[in-house]
Chains A and B, each alone.
Chain A
Amino acid sequence: MDKNTLINKWKAMSLIREFDLHVKEFSQSDEAFGYFHTSIGQEAISVGIIHNMRKDDFLTSTYRNHSHGIARGLDLRRMYAEMLGRETGFCKGIGGSMHIADQSQNFIGSMGIVAGGIPIAVGAAFASKYKKTDQIAICFFGDGAVHQGAFHEGLEFSVKFNIPVLFVCENNLYAESTAVEYHLIHESAISYAESYDLRSAKVDGNDLELVDQTGREFIEWVRQNQKPAFIECMTYKMSGQYEGDKQTYKPTEEISFWKSRDPLVLLSQRLINDFNVETGVFSQMEFQNKHLVQVAFDSAKKDPYPSVDVMRNAVYAETI
C-alpha cells in the first residue's frame, strides 16, 4: 500500500477509535442509558475487511458493531442519534447501540444474540446465488460465537450449498470474560472452519495491511468461486466486554503487551519508520476526528425522540 492510502486507513481507524472513546466517556455519564460495547483495539479488522466490500454486498455484525458501521461509512450523527434513542437514528431509536445497522444499504443487522447473524448472512448470500447477482455476504462474530449451533449450522449450510459468504471471526481472546484458553477446544477458532473444509486463514488482526490484503483476496475469491471462506483475525478487546467492565480478570502484563500492539500504534510506527511521516500528521487527524465525533454527538442530542407510532408501525410491513 502507498503512503497516502495508509494514511487514509489510519485516519479511518482513528475515526472509529475517537468515536468509541467518546462513547466510553459518555457511557459513564449520568445522561447515558443502555448497553455499550466498544471495539477499541479491533479497528484494523473493520477497516481492513469492510473497505474491500462492495456497497451492495450484505453485512451482518454483532452488538460490538460501532467499528463495522463506521467502516461501512455510516453517518456518525445518525449512529449517535440511535444510541441516544432518537428518531433520526438508523433504527429510529428502536435498536440502540447494540443494533446499529442501515438496512437500506444491505447492512442487515447487528445481532444481540451471539452467532445469531451467521445463518442470516448465509441466507442473504444464498439469495444472491439464487438470483445470480454477484453480491456476497460478510459476517462478523467473535470467538465466543464458535460454540453456538447457529455458527456450525451456518458454516455447514454454506459449504454444502456453496454459498458466497465470508465469515470473519474477530478473536479478541475473550468470550465475555472467559479467556480463549478456557473456552476454545483448539488453540484458535480456525480449526472449526478447517474441519468444514472452508478455505480459511488466520491473521494478525491488528496489522491493517495484512487484514486488508487477506480481506481483499478472500472477498474476491468468494465472489469468483461462489464458495464460502473464513478469516480469523487475532486481536484484543482493550475496553472489556461492555463499557463499565472493570476487567479484573485480565493480567496487567497482558494489557500492556496489547497496548504496544494497538493497531493505530502499529500503523503509525510503520508510517513514521518507512514513509517518514511526521507525528504531527497523526495528531492533526486525531484532532479532526475528535471534532467530527463531538459535532455528531452535539447535534444528535438535539434530535427528537420517536413517537409511539414509530414503534407500532415497525412491527409488521403494511404493504409491499
Chain B
Amino acid sequence: MTTRLLNYKDAINEALRQEMESDSRVFLIGEDVAGGAGRDDFPGATDAWGGPFGVTKGLVTQFGRERVIDSLLAETGFVGACIGAAFAGLRPVAEIMYADFLGTSFDQILNHAAKLRFTYGGISSIPLVIRTVTGAGFRAASEHSQMLISIYSHVPGLKVVAPSNAYDAKGLLISAIRDPDPVIFMEHKRLYVREFIVPETPYSIPIGKGDIKRVGESITIVGVQKMVNTALDAAEQLEKEGMYAEVIDPRSYSPIDIDLICESVAKTGFLLIVDESHPRCSIASDISSQVGDVMFSSLKGPIKMLTGLHTPVPYSPPLEDFFIPSVNEVIRYCKAMIRGEKIVNRF
C-alpha cells in the first residue's frame, strides 16, 4: 500500500474523489465548491476556488457541474434539497462553508435530516453528509470561528465526526459518505495544511470509535479535534519531566467512544478534557459527566475541563490566543492534577 505525507485538506479531497469515482450517486453541493468554474462565456475560469480553503479544488474538472454544484447562498434550500435527494437514493455531500452558517439551515438539520427516518417509523435512510469548517485561530471573529460540535451531538438522528489529522479525515469521510444516516463532518480550518501519513488507496475508519494517539500511565487527556494536537505537544514535554500522558482522540462525538476513555481512566486515575469550545453544555462537560458517572471510584482527583471561555470568539490576536487552550495551559493543568495541587482557573 502506497503511503505518503498528505495534508488534511488534500486527504479530504482525495476521499471525495475516490468515493465519487466508485459511486455515481455521490455528488457535491455547496457555496463555491466548483469555485465558479465552467462558465460558458469564460472557460478560463477553470476551478477558480474549490471552496474558500480549496478543499474541493479540481473535482469539478473531473466530475463536471452535474456532480460538483455551486449552490445558491441559501443553506436551507440546498441542505433541504440534499435531504430529499438522500431520501430518493442519492448520496449528497453538502458543504456548509463555516460551521457558523449551519444556523441558517438548522431547521432542515434539526427537524428533517435528523428525524425523517424516525418520525415515519424507521423505514427510510437518509445517507447525507454535511461537511463544514470549525474552529478558532484564524482571526475570523465571532461568526466564522465556532466549534458547535456539542449542538449537533445533542440531536438524536445525527452522527457527528471531527477528525484531528489527515489520516483520520480521509478514513472518516469515506465512512461518512458510505453511512446510511446523516453525518455532520467537521473540519478544523487550522488543520487544513497539517500533514500526516495517508495511504493512497481508499480505507474507512468506523464512526463511533475513538483512538489512542499516545500511550501513557500518568494522566488521560481527551482532546477535541485540534486540541488532540495541543495535547500531544503537551504530552511530549510532560514526558521530559517524567509524566506520561495518554492522549485520546474520540474522533466521533455522536456516537462517542466513552468506553475507550473509561478504560484509560481506569489505568491513569486522572482525566483532563481539552476543548476549544465554550465550557457550558459542551462536549467536554458531556464527557466529564459520562466518565464521572461510572469511573468515580477509579479517579484519584476531580475530572477537569480546559476549554475556551464562555464568550464568543474574539478578533483581536491577544484575545483570541487567550481564548484557545494552549500547550502551556495543558501542561500546567496536568502537573497540578497529578500533584494534587489546586488549579487556578485561567478565566
Contacts and interface: CB of A to CB of B under 8 A. Distances in A.
Contacts of B124: 103, 317
A89 B181 CA distance: 23
Given A124-B87, A127-B90, A108 B116 contact: yes
A104 B123 contact: yes
B117 A150 contact: no
A125 to B, nearest CB: 7
Interface in B85-113: 85-90, 92, 104, 107-108, 111-112
B77 A103 contact: no
A283 interface: no
Contacts of B92: 123
Contact of A123 (B81, B104, B107, B180): B81
Contacts of A1: none
Contacts of B82: 123
B76 interface: yes
Taking each of A109, A156, A320, which has the highest tally of chain B beta carbons within 10 Å of its own beta carbon?
A109
Interface in A271-320: 310, 313-320
Counting chain A residues whose Cβ lies within 8 A of the other chain, the interface size class is 35 or more
A165 to B, nearest CB: 9
A90 B90 contact: no
Nearest to A99: B119
Interface in B129-163: 156-157, 159
Interface string B21-37: 00000010000000000
A120 B80 contact: yes
B76 A150 contact: yes
Interface stretch (A3-11, A26-34, A39-47, A110-118): A110-118
B120 A90 contact: yes
Contacts of B270: none
A317 B112 contact: no
A95 B72 CA distance: 32
B125 A90 contact: no
Interface in B178-198: 180-181
Interface in A58-112: 58, 89-95, 99, 101, 103-104, 106, 108-109, 111-112
A315 B118 CA distance: 5
B18 to A, nearest CB: 19
Given A111-B112, A315-B156, A123 B83 contact: yes
A152 B80 CA distance: 12
Contacts of A128: 88
B84 A137 contact: yes
Contacts of B318: none
Contacts of B66: 130
Nearest to B74: A153
Given A116-B112, A317-B181, A157 B81 contact: yes
Contact of A126 (B81, B107, B126, B181): B81
Q: 3 tightest A-B contacts by CB?
A: A123-B84, A119-B80, A153-B77
Given A91-B120, A104-B123, A310-B122, 15 more contacts: A58-B84, A92-B122, A103-B124, A116-B80, A119-B79, A119-B84, A119-B108, A120-B83, A123-B84, A124-B88, A149-B104, A153-B77, A154-B80, A315-B157, A318-B180
6 contacts: A90-B121, A92-B122, A131-B88, A131-B90, A157-B77, A317-B180
